[in-house]
Structure 1
Amino acid sequence: MAPRITVIGTGYLGATHAAAMAELGFEVLGLDVVPEKIEMLGRGKVPMYEPGLEELLRRHVAGIEGSTGRLRFTTSWEEVGEFGDVHFVCVNTPQKHGEYACDMTYVDAAFSSLAAVLRRPALVVGKSTVPVGSAARLAGLLRELSPAGDEVELAWNPEFLREGFAVRDTLHPDRIVVGVSGEHGEKLLREVYATPVGEGTPFVVTDYPTAELVKTAANSFLATKISFINAMAEVCEAADGDVVKLAEAIGHDERIGRKFLRAGIGFGGGCLPKDIRAFMARAGELGVDQALTFLREVDSINMRRRGHMVELARECLGGSFLGQRVAVLGATFKPDSDDVRDSPALNVAGQIHLQGGQVTVYDPKGMANARGLFPTLGYAPTALEACRGAQVVLHLTEWAEFRELDPAALGEVVAARRILDGRNALDAAAWRDAGWAFRAMGRPQA
């Protein structure tokens, strides 16, 4: 008989994982402590924008006509304990306020609440991104607090979801990593992931510390690659080089590769920034802080790019934002998402607003979240309306909609045809041919 699965925490990671497990054929019960979220999910609605997720959810949520009925949601820990054989913990691990370190409050609370209702053998699987060493501590917590005691086993199975591709990444991952302490946990997880493994997905078995380190190491490498090309953009601007051509040339080297080599205003979101900072903090606690000092420069380069975009915009406007209308295209930290957490685009918009600029923002999916975070900015229902009367246009999130804009049509509504491409994603020739002064980060001005 197939194991029954629970998912603790139904945010971005948990909701996607729960729907994907139902798609793979399992009976799934999702838990969250926020009743409003559970009510929404129970109607087949998701509290965030993620391509394909709502459709996947509606295919399986019990009570929806035509669904498989394999997926239900609850706020009851007792129900979760009775139902599940494999419990996936998918709660958030934010950065501590005023510190680099990871806040484990939600993880610890989830493990404690879950442990109290485990009265029979079960496998608890951590998916949250945690400081190395957490799994061993949490395994001890489970043994101590669970009525089933040593019959409760822990595994660590880090997630590698990319926002905008989360459904695909869950159903067809490029690798599955499991940190286990015994054969039983490995066997159960091989059963859970039998479909993607059967399709050829590598299944990597490790110990707890290695599994915990995989996610933070991967994110640190990606952040380093992004900051490297942004550092090269700074050099290119000083030397009148072209960072796009530079990236193309080095990207042909198979040891380097082309991905994550697009210079711009840097990375943001709820993962990369906080994960590399938490990694540095944990290295310090382990007495090996010097091993990760390079990540401080990675973080510094990344944050510097936002300030540089503000400076370029000020330069375009003759040295001051006071009374100047500025259009910002993009609010989310990346396209195909409504996530505005640590968004470089909104950070730039906010800085310009604080310096006296009249900023109007448009984003295809992130408007509501942006308003909640930056209520004093102006917002427009379309890109055209955002640009109406603007002295300069800033392209800060690389949505396909912005690449498809008609420079001539946009030129009819702006006060001045000036555009700064903060993502190196627009066709410079097309904009210049339409009479725009076009500038991109790390590229020659003409």
Structure 2
Amino acid sequence: MPESRHPMLRPVQSVSVFGLGKLGASMVGCFASAGMRTIGVDINPASVRAVNRGRAPVEEPGLQSLFTRYRRRISATRDAAAAVGTTDASFIIVPTPSRPDGSFNSRFVEQAVRTIGQALRNHRSYHLVVVTSTVLPGTMKQRILPVLERASGRLAGRDFGLCYSPEFIAIGNVIRGLLHPDFFLIGEHDSRAGSRLESIYRIQGGPRTPIVRMSMVNAELTKISVNTYVTGKIAFANQLARICDRLPGGDAFTVAQAVGLDHRIGPACLKPGPSFGGPCFPRDNRAFAAVARKRGLRAPAAEATIESNRAHTRFLQHYVEALKPAPSARLAVLGLSYRPGTGLLEESCAVELAHAWSVSGPVSVHDPLADPGEIRRRLPGCSRARTVPACIRNADIIVYATDHEAYRPIDLKHVARLAPGAILVDVWGRWASATTPDGLSYRTPGFQTANKHDTITSRGWKGPT
């Protein structure tokens, strides 16, 4: 039922966002850009101070510009009751740590919900509560709803609204993902709550963005299903690379491009490269398998994706190790984050590769976005270079591990001068169609060098992107 058919509800004018991490802070900026007064809520006083001074509390491309442009609509507080009492809706985006069995721990969500519920005890008008944090199927109905009703002393559907609405974003591209998503997903406790949230998304995303409404449990399953399916495509493309590496004349990039032209498959995420990592993909896969196990089933596709991803990390490690010209050979790794455009190192293939090499040989690493302290913590046996030239100078093997925008100006001729005789391992296939200068050897996993000019270039394809 559209919100206009709920005459008691006035248009949403203000929202509060609980949790000012990468996604929460970005949601604050995006809601403000849509014309809503937005209050960020966090227990970290430094984050609250930063927001109230007009500064984004985290690094994310495009976020500071939103905070600067819409500063008058943005504020932050540690007072949850004040935030709930002066806004129409509250969004919760706090961590849901993974347990050893792959399931998620929802204790932080429950704490936030309990705090909001206590604030709702004295809140007379209808208030919408939206959980954005990723949770397992059944969590909203079995855990979140009872906690919220007990803490507030009120009933969902009658006194307040409750929805589950996760985001589908990539760190480093969060703003675009929030403002221009493929679709908005709404898991609603009741139609009134769903209509309320739909009205917010219509303001934020415009009239053309699809909005899919369903029950909370189906939305919970949809979230982890999307990431499980996407990682299956990534794992398949990387499996092609491993096969083509042992197939005379094999070229995984050309094969993947052709496979992606089939309309039933599509090209997105079907490109050989590093193993997938980060804060969402690996854990959502494990969670999908855990959901199946809890119900006496197996999820063989998800399990195979997990194992295939691990196998690809091992493959890349062995691939680089096999090129080692001497026991004391020096390795240089360009890019450590799990994907371009972010500095996050969580479950990064590049970090694992650098760590494995550092056990027996010297390693120099560089990443333009990663936190230096985090690099030292995760790679204590590696030397962190401040610049690309310092990283690759006199290296025996150079691994191009993360395709950061900052690396686009790299000139292979300059690389050859800095590291004469080096082997460049291009995990992303960025230079697959480029001419390799004298003094530099080129390797791309899954793409045999013999194909470098007679396969890709002759077909007019400029190489993998």
Classify the secondary structure of the residue corresponding to 2:28. Answer: helix
Aligned length in residues: 432
Tell me if the contact between 1:2 and 1:26 (Cα under 8 Å) persists in the aligned partners.
Answer: no
Q: Check if 1:102 corresponds to 2:104.
A: yes
In 2, Cα distance between equivalents of 1:214 and 1:324: 47
Question: Corresponding residue for 1:409?
Answer: 414
In 2, Cα distance between equivalents of 1:316 and 1:50: 37
Question: Corresponding residue for 1:365?
Answer: 369
Q: Check if 1:183 corresponds to 2:191.
A: yes
Tell me if the contact between 1:5 and 1:88 (Cα under 8 Å) persists in the aligned partners.
Answer: yes
| 219, 228, 235: which one aligns with 1:220 | 228
Deviations 1:37-88 (A, max 9, x none): 2222333333443210111122223xxxxxxx11111111221231222110
Q: CA deviation at 1:2?
A: 3.7
Q: CA deviation at 1:111?
A: 1.4
In 1, Cα distance between equivalents of 2:288 and 2:193: 27
Return 333-342 or 187-196, whichever deviates more: 187-196
Return 189-198 or 234-243, whichever deviates more: 189-198
| 254, 264, 277: which one aligns with 1:255 | 264
Tell me if the contact between 2:375 and 2:384 (Cα under 8 Å) persists in the aligned partners.
Answer: no
Aligned amino acid, residue 173 of structure 1: P
Aligned amino acid, residue 351 of structure 2: L
Question: Corresponding residue for 2:148?
Answer: 142
Question: Corresponding residue for 1:283?
Answer: 292
Q: CA deviation at 1:412?
A: 1.2
Q: CA deviation at 1:428?
A: 4.8
Q: Check if 1:239 corresponds to 2:241.
A: no
Classify the secondary structure of the residue corresponding to 1:205. Answer: strand
* Identity value in percent: 28
Aligned amino acid, residue 24 of structure 1: A
Q: CA deviation at 1:18?
A: 1.1
In 2, Cα distance between equivalents of 1:276 and 1:44: 37
Q: CA deviation at 1:16?
A: 0.7
Deviations 1:104-152 (A, max 9, x none): 2211221122212112331110111110001112112211211444412
Return 432-441 or 173-182, whichever deviates more: 432-441
Q: CA deviation at 1:357?
A: 1.7
Q: CA deviation at 1:257?
A: 1.2
Tell me if the contact between 2:30 and 2:66 (Cα under 8 Å) persists in the aligned partners.
Answer: yes
Q: CA deviation at 1:183?
A: 2.3
Listed as ranges, the matches of 1:389-408 within 5 Å are: 389-408=394-413
Q: CA deviation at 1:427?
A: 3.6
Listed as ranges, the matches of 1:234-383 within 5 Å are: 234-240=242-248, 241-288=250-297, 290=298, 292-318=299-325, 322-354=327-359, 356-368=360-372, 369-383=374-388
In 2, Cα distance between equivalents of 1:380 and 1:188: 51
Q: CA deviation at 1:196?
A: 4.6
Classify the secondary structure of the residue corresponding to 1:193. Answer: helix
Q: Check if 1:163 corresponds to 2:165.
A: no
In 2, Cα distance between equivalents of 1:172 and 1:402: 27
Classify the secondary structure of the residue corresponding to 1:418. Answer: strand
Return 387-396 or 368-377, whichever deviates more: 368-377
- Alignment gaps of 5+ in structure 1: 62-68
Deviations 1:137-173 (A, max 9, x none): 2112211211444412211111111222211111122
Aligned amino acid, residue 261 of structure 1: L
In 1, Cα distance between equivalents of 2:48 and 2:205: 31
Classify the secondary structure of the residue corresponding to 2:90. Answer: strand
Question: Corresponding residue for 2:462?
Answer: none
Tell me if the contact between 1:146 and 1:152 (Cα under 8 Å) persists in the aligned partners.
Answer: no
Q: CA deviation at 1:372?
A: 3.9
Deviations 1:9-51 (A, max 9, x none): 1111111111111111111111111112222233333344321
In 2, Cα distance between equivalents of 1:210 and 1:225: 23
| 428, 437, 440: which one aligns with 2:441 | 437
Classify the secondary structure of the residue corresponding to 2:449. Answer: coil
Aligned-residue RMSD, C-alpha: 1.7
Q: Check if 1:207 corresponds to 2:207.
A: no
| 71, 74, 77: which one aligns with 2:77 | 74
Return 48-57 or 370-379, whichever deviates more: 370-379
Tell me if the contact between 1:158 and 1:214 (Cα under 8 Å) persists in the aligned partners.
Answer: no
Tell me if the contact between 1:162 and 1:169 (Cα under 8 Å) persists in the aligned partners.
Answer: yes
Classify the secondary structure of the residue corresponding to 2:29. Answer: helix
Q: CA deviation at 1:264?
A: 1.8
Tell me if the contact between 2:432 and 2:444 (Cα under 8 Å) persists in the aligned partners.
Answer: no
In 2, Cα distance between equivalents of 1:141 and 1:11: 24
In 2, Cα distance between equivalents of 1:299 and 1:8: 32
Distance 1:339 1:45, change over 3 A: farther
In 2, Cα distance between equivalents of 1:333 and 1:49: 16
Question: Corresponding residue for 1:92?
Answer: 95
Aligned amino acid, residue 86 of structure 1: A
Aligned amino acid, residue 293 of structure 2: G
Tell me if the contact between 1:197 and 1:203 (Cα under 8 Å) persists in the aligned partners.
Answer: no
Distance 1:197 1:346, change over 3 A: closer
